[in-house]
A and B are shown apart, each in its own frame.
Chain A
């Protein structure tokens, strides 16, 4: 009898552990919050009600990927300034969560568990669409209208991922564009005083530099196909994704094949370095600082660091070279978004105040000046901070000027998958050199049937 009781007790303990464990996120709770918000939203749309202001001191969190160093210092300074000066009593807490993918995943995980932050910094093309399509981001339009926030002040090319279904769900924040960095001293030694505008010119320079023994490689292109390969295909009149985001025109019109063939030829000819497996970007920049690599393309966000480390030679920065007569450059970086799901009205209102603050001229200028990110608004470009910086170090202005020829990738739910595919095969063609561009394009075509919807 005792034995049976004890056995039952033990079983009960084990079962209870399972039951307790099995209670996942209370879907009912979260749904109620959403219904509440949804109702409010609907009400607003129906009656055009002005969203409430912050009425009491409140603490909110912003999750971001801005790591230690100047990047993290900048957001810490912004937060401190806001906490000190805002008249609502809002306290913002900034929390580093990891790189872009980790920050995105943790935010999604938190939303479904009910522990979400108020604000999040997402990679514009890889993060914002994923969140927007799950209907968890706040439509900032009511707040924008209430406060007469000027959307035209933004550099329009940076707004590609701000709109979704006529809602404004994210704003540009830490944006960058890839520029052409080169070792001016080496170039001059080979007899070139001007940076190349086209890849033909670059090829000539690169070959001469290597032939003269001035460096090991004249140029390197990293495996970031959604940026670099996409830009090159754009210059050829095609694109990585179609306007409606449902297919990949570059597969049919030969643009991808052309780009891969050119890239592979540059590597085979010996003047373009193939990228490596580990920390490719750091490894590439190191070769540059050493004088082994004469030029490369990379984000403008790293400019400050590159300037610091280019000590033995004169650094030059210019536009991304072109394969045709169309000069273009992609943009990248992160946008800021407000999480609607699970957050109450006061939290959303407070979050909006912080967003507004970050978009002020002073903040935008400081953000750009201290890190190398782009000034995202027209008005900020007239601020003294930036004018001084551009006068003192003209290299910083190049990225901003290049925005005139910037292009943005069409929104697509298939971008991530297709990019993966491109990355894999670029690796086989350029790094591993085990496939020819033709073979790779064939494989990519085959695999893309599993990605894009059938016509």
Chain B
């Protein structure tokens, strides 16, 4: 550092280069300790069979757990499929309704502000009571079927038939989170500069064009965000299934997180549970990469 002036600038630049690392460190430490470490531990354990109380007696089995999980047992693949179906359905309906409701409830009226607050309330209620209330509503003699019969339509078996159980769970999940995501979209709508809409008005653009060419692109950061968040949360769905169906009828609503839980608590088969967890992790990582490469490009930032 011969020249003091240059040295000072250089050290400031050095500090600048380090600052992001310093800022990120606390978060990384927590994530490493509480998420990464368990994940690595899980990968390690998945090559063994062991019983939970005696990890000291674990025996190496290599890829046996995976062979068993993917090729011998049928229920894991079913659980994967169910999770995929659930996720796609929830993502689709949640984003669709969130955007529709947001546009419907956007204006500043008393009714709208009441409505916004009202549709948010399901989010506040613990899943356990949601599950119970909805199982009553979807009972074969419950509210939904009563409404259907009012319209001369046959009642459905909702949670008691493998054909409709998954849809029922999707309905409950959408109901629960709708208000929250609607509010996010509303705040995003409000942040679109009004000048753009005014310009469109002057050009006499019709509603649909306005929606697809202006609203959606301007909302794209939030929509992308919602897409990722809802997908991830859908993969973690657990309480709904545990409360309402226990994975049934048969395996029709068995989803990954419930599958893992079930094999730990009810079957005490750590080999299956750990290998299932690792497969889940693999899928999630692939999905993240996919999301960022494929979808991330289409997002338009102001």
Direct chain A–B contact by Cβ atoms under 8 Å: yes
Interface: B81 (CB within 8 A): no
**Majority DSSP secondary structure for residues of B touching A:** helix
Q: Is the CB of A27 within 8 A of B55?
A: yes
Q: Is the CB of A277 within 8 A of B246?
A: yes
Chain B residues with Cβ below 8 Å from A13 are: 25, 29
Q: Is the CB of A432 within 8 A of B160?
A: yes
Q: Is the CB of A24 within 8 A of B41?
A: yes
**Majority DSSP secondary structure for residues of A touching B:** helix
CA distance A417 to B33 in the complex (A): 34
Q: Is the CB of A278 within 8 A of B159?
A: yes
Chain A residues with Cβ below 8 Å from B14 are: 2-3
Which stretch in A81-89, A98-106, A244-252 binds the other chain?
A: A98-106
Which stretch in B100-108, B147-155, B217-225, B265-273 binds the other chain?
A: B265-273
Q: Is the CB of B37 within 8 A of A112?
A: no
Known pairs A18-B37, A112-B53, A450-B73; A277 contacts B244 (CB<8 A): yes
Q: Is the CB of B267 within 8 A of A278?
A: no
Chain A residues with Cβ below 8 Å from B249 are: 277, 427-428, 431-432
- Select which of A136, A278, A420 is within 8 A of B135 by beta carbon: A278
- Provide the A23-37 mask, 1 if CB < 8 A to any CB of B, else 0: 011010011000000
Q: Is the CB of B56 within 8 A of A27?
A: yes
With most chain B CB atoms within 10 A of its CB, the pick from A3, A30, A417 is A3
Which stretch in A127-135, A159-167, A312-320, A344-352 binds the other chain?
A: A127-135
Q: Is the CB of A134 within 8 A of B25?
A: no
Chain A residues with Cβ below 8 Å from B269 are: 417
A-B interface pairs (CB < 8 A), number: 134
- Select which of B17, B32, B160 is within 8 A of A21 by beta carbon: B32
Interface range, B side: 35 or more
- Provide the A107-121 mask, 1 if CB < 8 A to any CB of B, else 0: 111011000000000
Chain B residues with Cβ below 8 Å from A21 are: 32-34, 37
Q: Is the CB of B265 within 8 A of A102?
A: yes
Chain A residues with Cβ below 8 Å from B252 are: 432
Chain A residues with Cβ below 8 Å from B192 are: none
Chain B contacts to A: CB under 8 angstroms: 11, 14, 17-18, 21-22, 25, 28-29, 32-34, 36-37, 41, 51-57, 68, 72-75, 131-132, 135, 139, 159-163, 165, 243-246, 248-252, 264-269
14 A-B pairs (CB sep. < 8 Å): A2-B11, A3-B18, A7-B21, A13-B25, A22-B37, A24-B41, A130-B268, A277-B165, A277-B244, A277-B249, A431-B160, A432-B161, A434-B161, A450-B73
Given contacts A417-B269, A450-B72, 18 further A-B contacts (CB under 8 A): A3-B14, A6-B18, A7-B21, A10-B22, A21-B33, A21-B37, A111-B54, A112-B52, A112-B53, A131-B53, A133-B51, A134-B53, A135-B54, A136-B54, A277-B160, A417-B267, A428-B162, A428-B249
| Interface pairs A-B: 7 shortest CB-CB | A278-B135, A108-B52, A108-B53, A21-B37, A277-B159, A111-B53, A101-B265
